[in-house]
Amino acid sequence: MPEDDPRFADVYDADLGATMLEMSRRVTGVPQYLGIELVGIGPGWVAGEMSVRPELLNPFGAMHGAAVAALVDHVLGSCVFPLIPRGTWPATLEFKLNYLAPVREGVVRAESRVTAITKRTAVVHVDVLNEGRIVATALGTISLNPPKHDG
Amino acid sequence: MPEDDPRFADVYDADLGATMLEMSRRVTGVPQYLGIELVGIGPGWVAGEMSVRPELLNPFGAMHGAAVAALVDHVLGSCVFPLIPRGTWPATLEFKLNYLAPVREGVVRAESRVTAITKRTAVVHVDVLNEGRIVATALGTISLNPPKHDG
Amino acid sequence: MPEDDPRFADVYDADLGATMLEMSRRVTGVPQYLGIELVGIGPGWVAGEMSVRPELLNPFGAMHGAAVAALVDHVLGSCVFPLIPRGTWPATLEFKLNYLAPVREGVVRAESRVTAITKRTAVVHVDVLNEGRIVATALGTISLNPPKHDG
Amino acid sequence: MPEDDPRFADVYDADLGATMLEMSRRVTGVPQYLGIELVGIGPGWVAGEMSVRPELLNPFGAMHGAAVAALVDHVLGSCVFPLIPRGTWPATLEFKLNYLAPVREGVVRAESRVTAITKRTAVVHVDVLNEGRIVATALGTISLNPPKHDG
């Protein structure tokens, strides 16, 4: 698991973090299909996992890149939620994803960490791990939108 | 549909393109779940579509970003296949994706275009369209690996 | 030159555009060292150029990638200026740059185009051209900050 | 300084690393103008610095983003050199750079680390530090070209 980031110790909403972990076991839609579950959360980080299943493999026996991209997208925004005021709405502006090695079996874990955050945006790194090695890495930007929508 | 790129008129393998279109109706796994189908292909481009379905929406009624990312990943590598020698294996090294607007209904179309290609790599732009506007855009790099694997 | 984007015809501030062109001939600092000059501007686009000089080459006779990156950074934010209210402050959040071919001589032109813009952010594509071919391409995100700083 | 990466302890060419440090004090062209110097190198990492000078500031008193981008480009490829066979030629395919905070004075340090490397490509993270905080972060891909050029 990533370490807690002391920069965020004061603002971290531990109750919200606990609720997010609990809710992630009841997701529907795309995360449910992929089997994505949050397995850890803390000040400035989130960890999410999915298991390799036959229907997530491409014809060459490797996990479809789209599944990895979906996992990355899922954990990217999650880590900022417990750091921002209730009502503020985080929206992923963009991310860049590098595929590093094929995934063939086992569990895929994505760990996201907040690298920097202002009132308006957050920048997040994601590492994706499988069988003891790094298989993908990503860097993305989150927009933090105020409760009263202004654009 | 994107226009044919005259730079690739000579190398484009039209038979392979036609086969890819035909095969895309029988995909399994992640693309089948998302309902992704290739709807057009030509020298230097591919177009793929998926329909907005309730299970692809997030709790806020917008298509899950992960579904858009998966569509982008899917069409990214496809457009280089008919431009490279048989046996050469394209692998997506990385892509960057900007989300521009939420998707709520209708059909999502991703159009990929080869911007540049060498013997070793290709660079591809993707635009994602919905209801007459652009909703996402991406830029990615494909590695072109020789038939005899060297790394 | 890129074409005017009809989406921005109404908001484009032509006076500001003309002023930016004029001012670009008197830049100092990094753009002056690199010899970057804006050569065209219009609704949703900017074109900037620099000439290949010996001191911009690396030891292998190709223009240093850093010079291309600097040119891209320079034109990235410029194209949104005439589209936003006076006082709004655009800041580049991030960009991704693909190098496509080495530059050895002649003029390097970067053309930036606004792909999408909201009240809070803009997304911009940049193509870099040299001797009749594309040598780099980029995709970036600009934050549009209100006159009264809120983050 | 970044820590040595034990994955690269065996392949690291310490003589080449020492030579690169020495040579970096005699660079010309763009790195010389910017005042970029390598200040540390080891298995899987490089650190480079430049000082904030008035001519590197933009009209708002912050270091021009182009200077930061140039520094990132410079250290991005450097860290793979001592890990690859002599004669292999690393070329930066692409990078993505997030600006996190303005730089106004002092020294700017960029630290690059090899995240993954194969025979054909390397993926590198870069963090840019100033006055005790992170001011930019980047993620890029390097192509490793064999001595006999094949494309």
Of A96, C140, C8, D15, residue with least CA distance to B72: A96
Q: What is the pLDDT of residue B149?
A: 52
Residue whose pair of structure tokens reads 């606990």 in the numeric block:
A18
Q: CA D102, A93, A24 angle in degrees (round to 5)?
A: 120
Q: CA A135, A137, A138 angle in degrees (round to 5)?
A: 150
Domains assigned to chain D? 6-145 (3.10.129.10)
Confidence band for B73, pLDDT divided at 50, 70 and 90: very high
* Tens digit of each residue's pLDDT (9 = 90 or more) over D61-77: 999 999 999 999 999 99
Of B57, B69, B124, residue with least CA distance to B98: B69
Test B93 with D145 for CB contact under 8 angstroms.
no
Tell me the C-alpha distance between A111 and A105, whole Å.
18
- Interface test mutation site (partner D, options C20, C27, C30, max chain D beta carbons within 10 A): C30
Tokens of D71: 């520094």
Which residues of chain A have a Cβ shorter than 8 Å from any chain C Cβ?
93-94, 96, 118-121, 123, 141, 143, 145, 150-151
Q: Looking at this protein, which amino acid is placed at residue B70?
A: A
Tell me the C-alpha distance between D142 and B80, whole Å.
20
Q: Are C114 and B134 in contact (CB under 8 A)?
A: no
* Tens digit of each residue's pLDDT (9 = 90 or more) over D18-58: 999 999 999 889 999 999 999 999 999 999 999 999 999 98
Higher pLDDT, B148 or A143: A143
B94 CA to centre of own chain: 13
Test A139 with D96 for CB contact under 8 angstroms.
yes
Q: Where are the beta strands (DSSP E) in C10-73?
A: 37-42, 45-51
Task: Give the least confident one: B2-6, B146-150, C63-67.
Answer: B146-150
- Interface test mutation site (partner B, options C99, C139, C142, max chain B beta carbons within 10 A): C139
Q: Are A104 and A123 in contact (CB under 8 A)?
A: no
Tokens of A54: 């036959």
Q: What is the pLDDT of residue B60?
A: 86
Chains with 3+ CB–CB pairs under 8 A to A are: B, C, D
Q: What is the pLDDT along chain C (151 residues), one digit of tens a residue?
A: 899 999 999 999 999 999 999 999 998 899 999 999 999 999 999 999 999 999 999 888 999 999 999 999 999 999 999 999 999 999 999 999 999 999 999 999 999 999 999 999 999 999 999 999 999 999 999 999 998 654 4
Confidence band for A125, pLDDT divided at 50, 70 and 90: very high
Please list, in sequence order, all residues whose beta carbon lies within 8 angstroms of the beta carbon of residue A72, skipping any fewer than 6 positions away: A95, A97, A110, A126, A128, A136, A138, A140, B69
Is pLDDT of D86 > 50? yes
Distance from CA of B61 to the nearest CA of D (A): 30
Test C97 with D94 for CB contact under 8 angstroms.
yes
Chains with 3+ CB–CB pairs under 8 A to B are: A, C, D
Tell me the C-alpha distance between C115 and C124, whole Å.
5
Distance from CA of D143 to the nearest CA of B (A): 9
Residue in chain A lying closest to D127 (CA) = A115
User: What ipTM is given for this predicted complex?
Assistant: 0.94
Q: Which residues pair with D121 in a beta bridge?
A: D143
Q: What is the pLDDT of residue A149?
A: 53
* Tens digit of each residue's pLDDT (9 = 90 or more) over D90-125: 999 999 999 999 999 999 999 999 999 999 999 999
Q: What is the pLDDT of residue A43?
A: 98
Tell me the C-alpha distance between C74 and A143, whole Å.
23
Distance from CA of C3 to the nearest CA of A (A): 26
Q: Which residues pair with D114 in a beta bridge?
A: D124
Local structure of C77: helix, strand or coil: helix
Work out the average pLDDT over A8-34.
94
Instruction: Write down the pTM of the prediction.
Output: 0.96
Test D123 with A100 for CB contact under 8 angstroms.
yes
Q: Looking at this protein, which amino acid is placed at residue B25?
A: R
- H/E element, B131: none
Computed on alpha carbons and rounded to an integer, the radius of gyration of chain B in Å comes to 15
Give the alpha-carbon dihedral of D2, D8, D13, D18, to 10 degrees: 0
Q: Where are the beta strands (DSSP E) in A43-132?
A: 45-51, 89-99, 107-117, 121-130
Of D45, D144, D33, residue with least CA distance to C64: D33
**What separation in angstroms does the CA of D18 have from each of B102, D5, D26, D36, D124?**
52, 17, 14, 17, 20
Q: What is the pLDDT of residue D149?
A: 52
Which residues of chain C have a Cβ shorter than 8 Å from any chain D Cβ?
28-31, 33-34, 54-58, 64-67, 69-74, 91-99
Q: What is the pLDDT of residue C107?
A: 98
Q: Are D109 and D51 in contact (CB under 8 A)?
A: no
Tokens of C51: 């000439």
Q: Looking at this protein, which amino acid is placed at residue A98?
A: N
Local structure of A55: helix, strand or coil: helix
Work out the average pLDDT over A72-83.
95
Q: Where are the beta strands (DSSP E) in chain A?
A: 37-42, 45-51, 89-99, 107-117, 121-130, 133-145
Dihedral sign for Cα A89, A94, A98, A101, please. Answer: positive
Q: Are B64 and B56 in contact (CB under 8 A)?
A: yes
